[in-house]
A and B are shown apart, each in its own frame.
Chain A
Amino acid sequence: MMPRSLFGLFLLVSLVFVTACDEEFVPIAPDGPPYSLWGNLDPTKDHQVVRVVPITGTIDEELDFSGITLRSVNRDTGEEQTWRDSVVTYEDGTRGLLFVSGFRPVHGDEYEVRVEGPEGKTAYARTTAPPAVTHSFVLDPGSQSTSGELLFPDAPRLYSSQTQYVLFFREGDLVGEPPLPSPPPRFNPCDEVVLSFDEQKSVASIEYGWKVPMNLRANFEAVNDEMDARFGIPIDPNDPNTATRPPDYGVRDIRFRTYVADEDWAPPFPFDFDPELLIEPGTLSSVRGGFGFVGSSYRVDWSWPPEVIRRLGVVTEGC
């Protein structure tokens, strides 16, 4: 009968497909790069640290560090550095393979850091230690001026630029009485608070380096708002839900911090160090044959002159 024959045909065709459709599933791309390298060669320090991260097949895979070596060479002088490995356990319980070397990179020299695994797989990064630069501050004209520019001539790059406000609480307020409904940290007279504000977006290039325009008075409004938000005191002590004001505080110091870095320390969009952007592998990487970033940078600090700070009308003495 025709219909029953068709039914049999159906089963036959199905079986043919069944045997023909098996395939191998490879969830992890084969032959991926073996290592990520992370480190900063600091020409102002006498020891350097580079981390080698083996690229694993799962996020919680047990790491095997055996047979991994790290070498580096000054490509300008041919001098090789000695590195010793160290396995550390971080606070979060993860383990890491660190290589430590007791040398100080020379400003302006190029270094190559190369990792090699037991099976001969390698990855390397090259970086040039940035030159030693001298910075200068130019205050805008005017007897009550609180703005100016910090100049970094000959600096290849600046990153992680920020201003830190070192503040202290003064007596006379309802100290220790946190406003409701969300109590801030308790504070006492002379306790210090450090507020940091990102300045990286203000960094601008000039013909032979970089400048950081700064306006202390404008920035200080943000400091006041932050102090109000974190330590605000109810204007009406009997009504904790009323508006608040910042506590009575003085300014111990206002200091600027940045890092002078090599040319490679450059995000794809100028000055945009957005972690959502940079986390994509390869977006900001100096490593060949692998992932990660090994750069070279050093820290520079500068403090606002006290006489300029006092122009804000704040107390700088006490405690």
Chain B
Amino acid sequence: MECRAWGKFLPLSFPAGDVFSLFMKQSTVNLSKVPRHRETEAGRWGRVVWVCLGLLLISSSAWAQSTLRGFVRDASSGEALIGAHVVLRGADEELRGDATDADGLYVITNLQPGDYIVQASYVGFVQHRDTIAIPSGVHLYSIEMVPDTELGEVTVEAERVSGQTDLVAGQQHITPADIRSVPAPDITGDLANYLTTLPSVVTSGDQGGQLFIRGGEPTQNQVRLDGIPLYQPFHLLGFYSAFPADVVGSADLYAGGYGAKFGGFLSSVLDINSRTGNNRSLEASAAAAPFVSSASVEGPIVPGKASFLVNGRLSLIEPVASPLIGRDLPYSFADIFGKVQAQTGSASHLSVTALHTRDSGSLGDPDSERPSEIRWSNTAAGFRFLTLPSTLDMRGEVVLTYTDHSNASGPEDELRESNIDRFGVEFALEYYSRYVNINVGGMLERVTLQSRLENLYENFEDEDSEFTEVSFYLEPEFNLGPLQFRPGVRATLNPTKRRTYIEPRGRAILNLGRVDLTAAGGVYHQTLVGVSDRRDATSIFTAWTAVPAFTGPSAVHGVGGIRFNPVDPLTMVVEGWTKTFRDIFVSEWTSFPRLTTNLVPADGTAYGADGRMEYRKGDSYIAVNYGLASVKYEAQDPFYEAWFGTNRLEYRPPHDRRHQIAVFAGTNIAGFDISARWQYGSGLPFSRPIGFDRYYYQGEPIEPAGDSGDPRVIYERPYGAELPAVHRLDVSIERTFDLDGWSITAQAGAVNAYDRTNLLAFDLFTLRRTDQLPIVPVFGVRLDKK
């Protein structure tokens, strides 16, 4: 028998008779006699709404049957356990189950009323077993699982659903354990550091914080934290983002073909759910390493009901890391995260999340006349309310979000700035039944944009603008035996721009035992677009603007893959993907060696394949990732006819990395956690100059005796050459020492252990190069108070 959850997709095998023989304790609870939780005012109001909304759905449900649902939490902290498996076994011996989502919620529908044995399992926790009587109707049964300090006796190893091969139709599920498994310059670990190991993700180097996901540009990636959109949440040093492992509850990277729930961006979605904090006891930690220091505090506000979590980090790059490696690293960043979550009833909770980040620094050659100072910040907050109507097979949530993002570049007297202010309201409903779950939702957002670009783009006018956009989606999820099929459609109306998008989407998974076949696809549009001058790798300033009324960028995705585990500890995934982009904007080609440019329309085609292999046994693992990709842009400009004999110039954009390889390994030897990562990326395209001369405008008489002419760069065909390949090895060893109520973790290691000279950027005008980090000795210490 198997049970699976959408997106987790790891089959669980329960040998009949064995699983339940492990029961250490059984109790029988008659749910019909369990006193209902005391309703709050919000709960009563919510019930009225839900009853009204659900009347239509009630008529279609099999009312004589039962639904069991609830939250699975860590008994020691009250936090949701994501990916825990809950299985019911009834009198007919049939197993029915579900895996918990990011809220720790499971839902098992279409049960016959009667007695069931319920079992919940999660790595590192004592298995929960109980016997319950389920009458007809919808019932709540939440579970608190006790951490197993001994580890191993009753846990199910196969339940570890994450890892490099946890890739389903473009969706990569990421856990804090995954993040911590990658060697990093500090103990805590960071989501950005993990993302750069994925074959779907291309970076221009270990500095800049720019992620190109399966052919898309950084501004075409949507990042959401607890539903809050964030526009540049990655820090200047590529190992770091606003999401340290201490904050992340789980994350899903949709590298393509994402469902109808998401919209507004062309390439990918990174959907992050933050932790809620411990609502049972106070915990604190502090860590220091050459690049960052961090501190975290969490604890109960109302014990067992409400919690808080605060995490802050401050970079130490300039005062510590820079002298350590003897190189000027003018980077500074900080972030602070806070969250409060409260259970407003046994079937509802609300949370408030807030985040502030700031970055400043300079990429490229510090002696260059071409300024590359950059700074950006994010201030964001969100409110989320989740509820399970007491009599309906539904869940619903409402999210209110506010985001303020600004980025700026250049000296004060020529400051280029671009700001986004966004306010949004979202709702999402999910109706459950045995064969089909129906997801519906909507969003209203108001976006205000301000730009001051100092003629960075000569045909792009600074103007403050704002727009309102409304979206709705419908996405049923059919569970037809081994086939899960999730067609969807998203409709977006933008009255400001007088535009309407209808975007079909679809995802499917076919489980054939040890083999899963997956596919996904969809149509995507983007109204809020970011424009960056990609001619210069150190120029990461982004001008945000709303697309004009008459046109807008769009993309079509296709993903198809196979996932299989030929022998049990070994899992392999091969996934092919394609994306086509229409009406995006790129920098115009010119031989004027200047900092400004024009924007021209372009189309893009990207395709590739990921191959991943992971062998995991006990504390040891090895994973090998290979990514093959090809990205081509076709830019349109009437001048191209004169220059290249065609008015559509086809070229490889500067993020077209053809090959990526990442190899990871980790083990535990004598209590020391040892991990290593080797990463290789083939060369990125660049426009190679033939040389430099002076130019005299032929529209006027050429008078070289009195006129020096204009400097000119003579290029080969645009982006026709390749930068050198980059590769490096990172290693880390760490050990945790437990003391009375405290733990101390010490770490040592090295980034770029064999001191490879990897190119970050090359100033083509002066032939001066800026390299990525040399060998960086890593050492750090972390103190945790439990």
Query: Measuring CB to CB, which residues of chain A are less than 8 angstroms from any residue of chain B?
Result: 2-4, 6-7, 9-11, 13-14, 17-18, 21, 23, 25-29, 32-33, 36, 38-40, 49-51, 53-61, 88, 90-92, 94, 96, 98, 100, 159-160, 200, 259, 265, 267-269, 273-284, 291-293, 295, 297, 299
Contact = CB atoms under 8 A, between A and B. Distances in A.
B214 to A, nearest CB: 24
Given A25-B759, A280-B643, A40 B693 contact: no
Contacts of B482: none
Interface string B606-636: 0000000001011111100000000000000
Nearest to A1: B620
Interface string B761-786: 01011110000000000000000000
13 contacts: A3-B620, A6-B622, A17-B727, A28-B691, A51-B696, A53-B694, A56-B693, A267-B698, A275-B697, A276-B590, A277-B642, A279-B710, A281-B693
B692 A276 contact: no
B684 to A, nearest CB: 12
A201 B674 CA distance: 72
A268 B713 CA distance: 20
Contacts of A32: 690-691, 714
B589 to A, nearest CB: 8
Q: Chain A CB within 10 Å — which of B620, B688, B694 has the most?
A: B694
A40 to B, nearest CB: 5
A267 B667 CA distance: 67
Nearest to B710: A279
A25 B723 contact: yes
Contact of B620 (A7, A268, A284): A7
Given A40-B702, A57-B767, 12 more contacts: A3-B620, A4-B667, A28-B688, A29-B690, A29-B716, A32-B690, A55-B714, A59-B765, A273-B698, A283-B643, A292-B693, A293-B702
Contact of B698 (A14, A33, A90, A278): A278
Nearest to B668: A3
Contacts of A6: 615, 620, 622, 665, 667
B674 A7 contact: yes
Contacts of B688: 26-29
Contacts of B674: 7
A58 B692 contact: yes
A279 B680 contact: no
A53 B664 CA distance: 53
Contact of A27 (B698, B705, B729, B767): B767
A58 B704 contact: no
B592 A279 contact: yes
B733 to A, nearest CB: 12
Interface in B670-725: 674, 676, 678, 680, 688-705, 707-714, 716, 721, 723-725
Contacts of B767: 27-28, 57-58
Contacts of B319: none
A14 B666 CA distance: 14
A284 B698 contact: yes
B759 A38 contact: no
Interface of B: 589-593, 598, 615, 617-622, 638-639, 641-643, 661, 663-667, 669, 674, 676, 678, 680, 688-705, 707-714, 716, 721, 723-725, 727, 729, 754, 756, 759, 762, 764-767
Contacts of A25: 723-724, 759
Nearest to B664: A10
Contacts of A299: 701
Given A14-B663, A32-B714, A53 B693 contact: yes
Nearest to B713: A59
Contact of B690 (A28, A49, A283): A28
Contact of B704 (A9, A13, A96, A291): A96
Given A6-B665, A268-B642, A36 B702 contact: no
A279 B699 CA distance: 11
Contacts of B694: 36, 38, 51, 53, 94, 96
Contacts of A13: 663, 678
B754 A18 contact: yes
Given A2-B617, A27-B764, A28-B688, A11 B676 contact: yes
Given A32-B691, A49-B704, A160-B700, A10 B727 contact: no
B701 A40 contact: yes
A7 B676 contact: yes
Nearest to B711: A59
A98 B765 contact: no
A32 B715 CA distance: 10
A59 B692 contact: yes
User: A-B pairs with the 6 shortest C-beta distances?
Assistant: A3-B620, A273-B699, A51-B704, A90-B708, A268-B642, A55-B691
Nearest to B767: A58
A159 B454 CA distance: 33
Nearest to A10: B665
Given A38-B704, A291-B714, A7 B698 contact: no
Contacts of B696: 38, 51, 292-293
A56 B691 contact: yes
A105 B712 CA distance: 30
Contacts of A23: 724-725
Nearest to A60: B766
Nearest to B702: A40
Contacts of A88: 705
Nearest to A259: B701
Nearest to B621: A3
A166 B60 CA distance: 87
Nearest to A40: B702
A39 B689 contact: no
B215 to A, nearest CB: 24
A98 B702 CA distance: 13
Contacts of B589: 280
A276 B591 CA distance: 8
A265 B698 CA distance: 8
Contacts of A14: 663, 676, 678, 729
B691 A159 contact: no
Nearest to A284: B698
A13 B626 CA distance: 14
A39 B704 contact: yes
Contacts of B666: 7
B713 to A, nearest CB: 7
A10 B675 CA distance: 10
Contacts of B643: 280, 282-283
A279 B665 contact: no
B708 A280 contact: no
B546 to A, nearest CB: 26
A21 B680 contact: yes
A185 to B, nearest CB: 24
Contacts of B756: 18
B697 A55 contact: no
A94 B661 CA distance: 47
Q: Chain A CB within 10 Å — which of B666, B701, B721 has the most?
A: B701
A282 B643 CA distance: 8
A28 B712 CA distance: 15
Nearest to A268: B642
A3 B665 CA distance: 9
A158 to B, nearest CB: 11
Q: Chain B CB within 10 Å — which of A21, A49, A59 has the most?
A: A59
B727 A21 contact: yes
A279 B764 contact: no
Contacts of B695: 279
A196 to B, nearest CB: 11
A11 to B, nearest CB: 7
Contacts of A297: 701
Contacts of B699: 159-160, 200, 267, 273-275, 278
Contacts of A268: 641-642
A123 B701 CA distance: 22
A61 B642 CA distance: 30
